[in-house]
Amino acid sequence: MNRNESNLQHLAKKKCSDSKSLKKRHRKKGLPGKSRGDEESAIRSTGKDLGDDGILDLIFNPKTVEGWLVYSQGKTTQVSSKFKINGKEYFPLIDDNVRKGIVRLPTGLEDYQSTEDLYFWLKRFIAHYYNETDPAFLSLYAAYILLTWIAEKYDTYPYLLWLGAAGGGKTRALETLGNLCRKPTFLNAASTEAHLIRLLDAWRGTAIIDEATFDRHSASHNVIVQILCVGYKRQTGYRGCCEGVSNTPRNFYVGGPKLLASRHEFLDDGLRSRCITRKTGGDARREGQPFALDGDFYEGVSKAQRMLLKWRFDHYHEARLDPSNEIKGVESRVNEILCPLLSVIKDEKIRNEFQGIGIQQQEAIREARRSTLEGFAVGYLADRLVEGVAAVHVKDIATAATEAGVLRKAVSPRTLASSLRGIGLDTPKDRAGIFIDLSNQRKVEAVKTLARSFGWEGRDACDDVPTPQLGKNG
């Protein structure tokens, strides 16, 4: 027998031994062995929407370190270690993430009086442990927590981002709100993309990411930013290679609500637009506020999660997006992330507060755009359009941008031309260099549209300006 044949026999024996050991472990835990018929019928579940057959969710007893499934159909709710539904057998999935507190689960169910009563209970609880000075944001926090418990019913979810220097209360905000959300999954900036996508895919809850100031020079930075950019939608996933030695591609579910804290603005415009940002500053602790989260806090969290799980079962099937909640005068992205929150709360006064936050969000997005190189160039072009200039050379815009200190280094015409093409502007070339043609009606309309998008209200006069004639250059 040669060495290859010996190795093959050894691997075959090891596989057989592993299979028998796996079946023994499954029998010990009350799970069926992985026989041919059982492999597809036995499912380790963290919770699932079964459509007309009801909803499955997961509870955990930290004292006995046991997990149980909760099955709700109509007005009937049952708790058991397993359920057989439509020929499939479901078992609770409890792993080290739950045992070590990385993922927090409810300990049971508890009655509540009404949605309004639960909403105000959450506001009082948050206000006791976290000093939020803006009443509108305090209302938004309570509504966001409710949203996380029925998030699967909506196509998009906003991210909550706390932004500020150290000591501003960012971590306290994450701990206070995060523990109240559904299946909070506590992560940090040290998480790799592999760790991140596997946890998000396995638990499909609310991601809590502290110190989300990812190393911009690391290989994983761009990947993590991409994951967060697509993760605000329910139906999008991240495709990676990790199945066996063949690296077969598979999709990871990365969608869901997310709470983030960072000391620096995100460089990616798309990621910033997905966040409802709350800027912090100074010592955020008020007089009388607990300086640490004590036993009373965690008892309150357990009570809240039990009530919220009951609320989820009561309101899951009736939850849906209401298009009439659209906020007038803001971009589609702002409506996309705020309308789910407006659909959760019916009180008109509170909804008006959220609309005010939406308008602030819109202005923050435009301000961030104006501070970019592209934003400066669009403002410069709008000014030249009002002056009746028919063509603007890119080198003149680059010189003005350098003098204004838009970037930390000098701006080259070639770099600027590439950026302008990226926002849809043509950059032809003549003897004097690359230029923007403002004598063509289609191109003039493109500049006007960009001026509105970047929020150059002072340049809105360019809307009424006729198309300049050739012969006048800037």
Quick one: pLDDT at residue 189?
Answer: 57
Quick one: pLDDT at residue 272?
Answer: 87
Name the residue ranges covered by the structural domains of the chain.
Answer: 1-25, 31-94, 115-365, 371-464
Quick one: pLDDT at residue 452?
Answer: 85
Predicted TM-score (pTM) of this structure: 0.81
Does position 126 have pLDDT exceeding 90, yes or no?
yes
User: What proportion of the chain, given as a percentage, has pLDDT over 90?
Assistant: 38
Distances (CA, A) of 224 to 97, 187, 230: 21, 12, 10
| Beta strand 88-92 pairing with 83-85 | antiparallel
Q: List CB contacts of 59: < 8 A, sequence separation 6 or more.
A: 67, 68, 69, 70, 79, 105, 106, 107, 108, 109, 309
Lowest mean pLDDT among 143-147, 236-240, 351-355, 393-397: 236-240
Quick one: pLDDT at residue 421?
Answer: 92
Lowest mean pLDDT among 26-40, 128-142, 230-244, 343-357: 26-40
Quick one: pLDDT at residue 150?
Answer: 95
Mean pLDDT over 363-375 rounds to 85
Confidence of residue 29 (pLDDT cuts 50, 70, 90): very low
CATH code linked to domain 115-365: 3.40.50.300
From the CB of residue 29, how many other CB atoms can be counted at a distance below 10 Å? Answer: 11
Quick one: pLDDT at residue 196?
Answer: 85
Does position 244 have pLDDT exceeding 70, yes or no?
no
**HSE value, Cβ hemisphere, 13 Å, CA-based, for 314:** 15
Residue type present at position 36: R
Does position 38 have pLDDT exceeding 50, yes or no?
no
CB 242 within 8 A of CB 250: yes
Does position 467 have pLDDT exceeding 60, yes or no?
no
d(CA 413, CA 373): 12
Confidence of residue 176 (pLDDT cuts 50, 70, 90): very high
- What b/e string do you get for 314-340 counting C-beta neighbours within 10 Å, with b at 16 or more? eebbebeeeeebbbeebeebbbbbbbb
Does position 466 have pLDDT exceeding 80, yes or no?
no
